[in-house]
Structure formats: structure tokens, C-alpha cells
Amino acid sequence: MRNHGCVQPWTAPTPTAPVRGTVSVPGSKSVTNRALLLSGLAHGRSVVHGVPATRDSALMCGALRSLGLTVLVEGDTVTIDGGTLRGGGTVDCGLAGTVMRFVPPAATLADGPVVFDGDPHARERPMAGVLDALRALGAVVDGDRLPFVLHGVGGLPGGDVTIDASASSQFVSGLLLSGARFDKGLTVHHDGKPVPSLPHIDMTVAMLREAGVTVADPESSGEPNTWRVEPGPIAARTWAVEPDLSNASVFLAAAAATGGEVTVTGWPAESTQPGTEILEVLERMGAAVEARAEGMTVRGGDLHGIDVDLHEASELTPTVAALAALADSPSVIRGVAHIRGHETDRLAALRAELSAVGAQVEETEDGLRIRPGTLAGAPWRAYADHRMATAGAIVGLRVPGVTVDDVDCTAKTIPDFPGRWAELVG
């Protein structure tokens, strides 16, 4: 793993009292980038409210502009005139999985070649699930990972395709989002190990239906591991983005780690975001969870270890692992082998950084075993991964002297995380 650190490390604040406060978090990256792409694929003008000022959102807006669309950003509102896509441009994917996996299927509708590239580590992230599927559906693609060129010819026949999506649910979502624009629609069969983060596919299906697309999923059709999108128009509409619950988990973790009380405002009554699972995890670790009129509140108590399968909500792994290192008993995190292919190899990174501050960490086939130890401050490498950086901030709540080498990478999903964190923890 490479260290993508910056010159000025950030010292994670260690409060002298339990953390108490109320926090509002930016909109969901996952909802935002689905809404932005569907807006680009619709015929007509769509408006997306609540778009967070994050790098991932900016990269998706940039990708749509590269495909010839008009995208106007005014504060947290984005207006998109969707419709005909143009070739000849270059899409910068950065490190955004939602850009590198969601945009290529849409680019098959462009009238010329589209070049895709991204950050150095993005070139190591798995892409075969999407690119091989597009080839099987009739697309011409040069390359198997970033950088690659997709030769758009103004459309794609579509039809049936079988993929192995065990590395990322984004392979399924990326295909489904554009499937209604294919001539024959699209049927995706998954053939492999269980798909991680299935709630993200549920989110895709729900948003397609909100845009007027007819979708059959395993629950509605009774066909396991099969999703079918009927051909037809995608409706232009107004979208409202709910708060990002995985990012909210970081702030709720501050209450659990310090025995404090934190409320996240705007918590939705119902959500397809996998981040909702943090509430059950925190309760099992000893915190109290209460839904209030003003938001979701977590009150910390004695922090206990946990044995948990995070296969459906793997993006919570760095947050839960950080709390596990601060708990009073060992923890086991299971079902997350696929996060080795995220922004960095998160299992190896967590083992390295938690071990550096004094925890005993073993990397298993599909997760981590974490035994708390006598912890002491040390440099914490973020590996250009926003969730690794926030995990270091959580450890720093109880361990003075934790210095994160690249806290700025949190801008991927949380604007001004250092300022928000300092305001909460003092």
C-alpha cells in the first residue's frame, strides 16, 4: 500500500469530557450520484436538492459534462438537462466507485469514444464486472481497468448478461441504472459468491422506480440473484437527497467512544442506506439509541466488543473497527473480504494502523479480529481513503497523539470534516 499523505499531519482532538452535541451531515453520496446519473439519462430537466459539496459529487457532475450535458451547480442544488449523450470526452473518475462503475454503461449511449481514467489507486480497483458485462451486451471497450476507452455508438442492444458481482454491488447497480435506455432493456444475473452491500442495489431499484422505470428484483419476481429492467424512458424529476448515514455513523461513534450523547438531525424514518445498520451495532456495543423529533440520538455507555457480520454494510467497517479497538473486550468483524478492493485494501490498512497504536489485530479471510490493548498515540496513515481518515479521528477521541497524515481526503464525502469534528468534540 502506498502512503498518499500530505506534508502537514492533522492531530485528532482528544476531548477531556464526554462528547455532547447535535450534528447535521451532508447528503448521501450514494443517493446523490444515482440521482445525478438518472437525471442525465432522463429526457428533460431534472433538479437534485441536497447535493453535498464533496469530491465524489463533483466528479459525477464533471462526468456528465464530459458526456455533453449541461449541469448547473448552485449551492446544494444541481440542475441537469438530460438526454442525448456525446462522445469525444474524458471522464475523470478520481477514486469514486460510483463514477467508474456507473458512468461506463451510460457512455455506451454516446455517439463516440469516451476515455475513462482516475487517481493512481483507482487503476487498481476491480472493473471487470462492469466492462466484461458491457462487452457481452455488445459494447466495444479497450482495456480492463482504468484507464480504458469505451466506444459509444449511440446505443446498446441490451438483453441478458451474467456477471460475478461478489467484488462490488456497484457492478449490478451500474448496469441497472442505464438499462432502461438499452434497446431490449436489461436482465442481470449474478453468478458467484453473495453480493456485498445488497441494500445499495435495493436503493438503485427504488430510485429507478421513482423515475418511472419498470424493474423486477429477486423479491418481486421470485428469481434469486436476478434483476430485470424494462426498456423505456427515464423520467425527469426533482430529487431530494437524504443525509449520508454512513458518514453520520462517524459522529454517532463519538458518543459511543466517550460516553457522551450525539444527535444527528434529519435522520430519515425509512432508508435503503446500509448506514442504518450502525444503530444496531452501537446498541450491541453498549450504547443507547433513541429516535427523537430532532433526529437520531446515541448515548454512550460502557463500550463492549462485538461479533458482527458487516457484509450488507461493509462501509461501516473502519468505524466499527476503530470502536472495537477502544472497547473492553475483543471483537470480530466478518463478511467484508471485498473491502480489500475499496479505496485501499481496508483490511490490511486497519490491521496496520490499529496495530501501530497498540491494538492486537489479526486479518482473517473475510474480516478482522481485534483485541484492545494499551493504546498510545502514533502517526495514522489514511491511504487517501476517507473512511480510514475518520477511523483515525475516532481512535484519537480516547488516545492522545494520533496524527492523521491526510485528513483532507475526507473531502471525498464530508466537506470540512476537521472543522465539523472540532466543533463537535471541542
CATH of 29-217 among 3.40.50.2300, 3.30.70.3040, 3.65.10.10, 3.90.70.10? 3.65.10.10
Compute the average pLDDT of residues 226-252. Answer: 97
Compute the average pLDDT of residues 168-191. Answer: 96
Domain ranges of the chain: 10-26+244-425, 29-217
Label each residue of 114-136 as H, E or C.
EEEECCHHHHHCCCHHHHHHHHH
DSSP three-state, residue 190 = strand
- Cell triple for 69: 450535458
Q: Does domain 10-26+244-425 have CATH number 3.40.50.300?
A: no
Where are any strands of DSSP class E within 214-320? 215-216, 226-229, 238-240, 261-265, 288-292, 295-299, 307-309
- Cell triple for 268: 430519515
Distance CA 263, CA 401 (A): 27
Name the residue with cell 447535493: 51
Residue 150 pLDDT > 70:
yes
Q: Is the dihedral of CA 316, 321, 326, 329 positive or negative?
A: positive
Identical fold, 10-26+244-425 and 29-217 = yes
Cβ-contact 356, 396 below 8 angstroms: no
The percentage of residues in the chain with a pLDDT greater than 70, rounded to a whole number, is 98
Which residues on neighbouring strands pair with residue 331, listed in sequence order?
370
Helices (H) and strands (E) in the chain, counts: 13, 23
DSSP three-state, residue 295 = strand
Residues placed in the known binding site: 29-30, 34, 97, 125, 168-170, 197, 315, 342, 346, 387, 412
Residues placed in the known binding site for 3-phosphoshikimate: 29-30, 34, 168-170, 197, 315, 342
At residue 303, the pLDDT reads: 98
Compute the average pLDDT of residues 58-78. Answer: 98
Q: List the catalytic residues.
A: 315
At residue 68, the pLDDT reads: 98
Residue 125 pLDDT > 90:
no
Task: Tell me the per-residue pLDDT of 303-332, one tens digit each, with 9 for 90 and over.
Answer: 999 999 999 999 999 999 999 999 999 999
Distance CA 181, CA 16 (A): 56
At residue 4, the pLDDT reads: 41
Max Cα distance, the chain (Å) = 62
The β-bridge relationship of strands 186-190 and 159-163 is parallel
Mean pLDDT of the chain: 95
Residues placed in the known binding site for phosphoenolpyruvate: 29, 97, 125, 170, 346, 387, 412
Compute the average pLDDT of residues 235-264. Answer: 97
Task: Tell me the per-residue pLDDT of 53-65, one tens digit each, with 9 for 90 and over.
Answer: 999 999 999 999 9
